[in-house]
Amino acid sequence: MGQWLRSAASPRLRNKLPRAAAIAAFFIPFLIWPVGAQQPDPGLQDRLKGLSLDQLGNIEVTTTTKEPVTVTRTPAAVYVITQDDIRRSGATSIPEALRLAPGVEVARIDSVKWAIGIRGFQSRLSRDVLVLIDGRSVYSPLFHGVYWEVQDTLLEDIERIEVIRGPGGTIWGANAVDGVINIITKSSKNTHGALVSAGGGSVDQGFLDFRYGGGNDKDFDYRFYAKGFDRSPEYHYDDRNFDDFRRAQGGFRTDWNVTKRDSLTIQGDLYDGVDGESAKITVVSPPSAYVLDQNGALSGGNLLAHWKRDLGGGSDLQIETYYDRVNRRQPNQAEYRNTFDVDVIHHWAFSDRQNIIWGFGARLSLGELPEVVPTYVFNPNSRVDQLYSLFAQDEIQLVPGRLALTAGSKILHSSYTGFDAEPSVRLLWTPSTHQSFWTAVTRAVRTPSDIEDTLTTTTPVSTNPPTFSQTTGDRIFTSETMLGYEAGFRQLVNPRLSFDLATFYNQYDHLLSLEPGTPFMEDGAIIDPFVNRNGIRGTTKGFELLANWKPSTSWRIEGSYAWLDMDLMNKPGSLDATTVSSTEGASPRHDISLKSFIDLSSKFEFNQIVRYVSALPAEQVTAYVTADARVAWHPDRRFEFAVTGQNLLQPHHAEYGGDPGPLVGIKRSVYAAITWRK
């Protein structure tokens, strides 16, 4: 048959066949869904009938993931990515897993770097999203964004990732302007035994995960893990292939129930990696810039302690403290940072109708930013950021079980901007157990970072006459502010079908702008100076619609559509000519995804994700559709064999502008993995 196909098909058609077949293979399951969909097996329930309590307690069950009931009563746009979702998606990193959440814009810049945003403002720096791993804030005070390439843990150990779209400032702290990503790992009580997972493929060339956990079956549990991976470069049309990436990481966690009421968790991680980077280096004489492809050295670690006392009656007191160390040596910059943080939270079930949460925290971050190239300089090159916060929030049941009001505020004091308030009011109406409506008004603030305050960068503009543009942080830049209006609706049509709609209208003010100054001469060169000001304002509006359908107990389909409209403008007096268009054009207007997770049998699963992302004009990225698929077979409890294909619908596609340089194509890739646990 293959012979016939080859001779009959024209060369052109022959080239297109694999692609067409791949696309067809992807959509067929989606198209024929209702045919013979499995119903819950009534015979199964009958078999359970004859069992004693003792026997029931020994039956292994599959847990129904994503019970819709758990989110229907949250007055915010929340999405929870479960461990099951992460495994089924075939994600090999946290950013990939974030693609599962609607309204989160995730673009791979190259093999190492990511650009992530929530409801707009997607960028390598993803400035306005607060990211926490077990309560530890992982954004860098350097630019108030996240270096995603070093945020990692054993993906198997993640219990869930809560993604809050929209301002989460009241409880979560500074810079949670556009959203919060809260990564929660499993208690070591739930990770007993050994786990080894190894695999490799065309881009994820090799990886090895190891974990061992245990406990005394009473009050103490522990685990430790180690992992390493080697990623190859993505597609570069000019064959520069600079972006290979290797990293090793290890860590531990202990959970100790000190008394009946007190529990203490101590955990830590250490990592070390080498990433291939490309950097633009400016030379002053002659005025020019060249691109240097060189390795960066990325390492760091953290140690965290979390103490919780159950005060009874639903109240508790928690204290968390951590130390975090970051070492980054890159081709054109370096950062060495120590962060100390302590937070106290008191959850107080004040009465039947009122639930109070209040707390306070302090963070001290000491950054050393030594000069690597003379055209990228922090002045001063060391800085201490202090952040103090105090928050209180009251959840009031106006009509118990039907109408709840949540009001609160955070008061923030940063060493560079003084006091900022982040109040929030949220209302939740649940007319029936199958419906809920919510609405919220929140103010959120992003405080200035080192990059805006103290960085001076120099870039050549022309050689004759020698001209440079120079951006200088002069500490006049103040906090960016946002006033967010949100409303949402959730409907549980039946236990198998649910919808979730979240809408938003955000007003931003005092956004960062680059304001030109008067050119001057320095050492025979013309300098076009720029300073950081708060010259941009504007609005974003949009919605995310999510539908979740379980045609049968072994099949889940989820579709989501996110629409975003950004409308920024210069404030009177602002002469910034680029920021508005470069920001608006860097987030997709449409983002659609369709997932299908099927258990073919108790031993066999098949998962697919198709996603469409519209064009990013400012990044020269065209719209694309691509898809991932994963087939896994677990013959018994101990083994799992899986093959995952990623970005299957084209040989490569770009997702975000090169950093710096031409677009990097994200390759179609396949990897296989074997997991053993005991």
Partner 1 sequence: MKTPRTPAKNRWRAWACLVFTGVLICANNLPAQAPAPTDYQVKAAYLANFGRFVEWPPRSGPSQDQSFNVCVLGDDPFGPALDAALAGETINRAPLVPRRITKPREATNCRIVFITLSEDSHLKTMLPPLENAGVLTVSDIPQFARRGGMIELVLAGNKVRFEINVAATARAGLTLSSELLKLAVVVRKTL
What is the SS3 assignment for 246?
A: strand
Among 2, 11, 18, 57, interactor with partner 1 by CB under 8 A: 57
262 binds partner 1 (CB under 8 A): no
Among 187, 257, 379, 397, interactor with partner 1 by CB under 8 A: 397
Lookup: tokens for 108? 């791979």
In 10 A of CB 200, how many CB atoms?
15
652 binds partner 1 (CB under 8 A): no
* Residue placing its CB nearer to partner 1 in the complex, 8 or 44: 44
69 binds partner 1 (CB under 8 A): yes
Among 432, 464, 523, 573, interactor with partner 1 by CB under 8 A: 432
Calpha distance 412→362 (Å, rounded): 10
Left if phi > 0, otherwise alpha if psi is -120 to 50, otherwise beta: which for 246?
beta
Q: State the DSSP code for 622.
A: P
59 binds partner 1 (CB under 8 A): yes
Among 18, 401, 524, 572, interactor with partner 1 by CB under 8 A: 401
598 binds partner 1 (CB under 8 A): yes
60 binds partner 1 (CB under 8 A): yes
Q: State the DSSP code for 144.
A: T
Calpha distance 675→636 (Å, rounded): 11
Best CA proximity match to 180, nearest among 190, 172, 189: 172
Residue 329 · residue 295 · CB < 8 Å = no
| Tally of residues, the chain | 678
Q: State the DSSP code for 617.
A: G
Return the C-alpha torsion angle 424, 405, 117, 583, nearest 10.
-50
Among 5, 9, 20, 25, interactor with partner 1 by CB under 8 A: 25
Residue 131 · residue 181 · CB < 8 Å = yes
Among 15, 64, 288, 462, interactor with partner 1 by CB under 8 A: 64
Among 18, 42, 524, 573, interactor with partner 1 by CB under 8 A: 42
Lookup: tokens for 509? 């003010």
CA distances from 633 to 86, 157, 221, 672 (A): 16, 20, 30, 12
* Residue placing its CB nearer to partner 1 in the complex, 29 or 206: 29
Smallest gap from Cβ 353 to partner 1, in A, equals 8
Phi and psi of 531, rounded to 5°? -125, 155
What stretch of H or E contains 608?
strand 604-613
12 binds partner 1 (CB under 8 A): no
606 binds partner 1 (CB under 8 A): yes
Calpha distance 233→109 (Å, rounded): 11
Among 2, 10, 53, 216, interactor with partner 1 by CB under 8 A: 53
Smallest gap from Cβ 630 to partner 1, in A, equals 11
Phi and psi of 101, rounded to 5°? -90, 130
* Residue placing its CB nearer to partner 1 in the complex, 328 or 490: 490
Task: Tell which positions 514-543 bind partner 1, by CB under 8 A.
Answer: none
Phi and psi of 430, rounded to 5°? -120, 85
352 binds partner 1 (CB under 8 A): yes
* Residue placing its CB nearer to partner 1 in the complex, 46 or 238: 46
Smallest gap from Cβ 676 to partner 1, in A, equals 17
56 binds partner 1 (CB under 8 A): yes
Smallest gap from Cβ 14 to partner 1, in A, equals 17
Instruction: Using the rule CB under 8 A, give the single segment among 59-67, 296-304, 356-364, 568-576 that binds partner 1.
Output: 59-67
Task: Tell which positions 286-325 bind partner 1, by CB under 8 A.
Answer: 313-314
Which residues, other chains included, contact 658 with Cβ-Cβ below 8 Å and sequence gap of 6+? 109, 110, 278, 664
62 binds partner 1 (CB under 8 A): yes
631 binds partner 1 (CB under 8 A): yes
* Residue placing its CB nearer to partner 1 in the complex, 65 or 338: 65
Calpha distance 587→616 (Å, rounded): 6
* Residue placing its CB nearer to partner 1 in the complex, 39 or 464: 39
What is the SS3 assignment for 297?
A: strand
What is the rounded radius of gyration, in angstroms, for the C-alpha atoms of the chain? 26
- Tell me how many residues contact partner 1 (CB under 8 A): 64
553 binds partner 1 (CB under 8 A): yes
Task: Tell which positions 474-503 bind partner 1, by CB under 8 A.
Answer: 492, 495-496
Query: Do you find a cis peptide bond into 380, omega within 30 degrees of 0?
Result: yes
Instruction: Using the rule CB under 8 A, give the single segment among 41-49, 151-159, 266-274, 566-574 that binds partner 1.
Output: 41-49
133 binds partner 1 (CB under 8 A): no
Smallest gap from Cβ 230 to partner 1, in A, equals 30
639 binds partner 1 (CB under 8 A): no
Phi and psi of 43, rounded to 5°? -60, -30
Phi and psi of 615, rounded to 5°? -65, 150
Instruction: Using the rule CB under 8 A, give the single segment among 56-64, 136-144, 168-176, 247-255 that binds partner 1.
Output: 56-64
Calpha distance 651→456 (Å, rounded): 40
Which residues are bridge partners to 213 per DSSP?
A: 193, 223
Among 32, 194, 291, 577, interactor with partner 1 by CB under 8 A: 32
54 binds partner 1 (CB under 8 A): yes
Lookup: tokens for 112? 């190492």
Instruction: Using the rule CB under 8 A, give the single segment among 410-418, 429-437, 462-470, 650-658 that binds partner 1.
Output: 429-437
Smallest gap from Cβ 402 to partner 1, in A, equals 10
In 10 A of CB 520, how many CB atoms?
11
* Residues that bind partner 1 in the complex, under the rule CB under 8 A: 25, 28-29, 32-33, 35-38, 40-42, 44-46, 48-49, 51-54, 56-64, 67-70, 72-73, 190, 313-314, 349, 352, 355, 397, 400-401, 404, 432-434, 492, 495-496, 553-555, 598-604, 606, 631
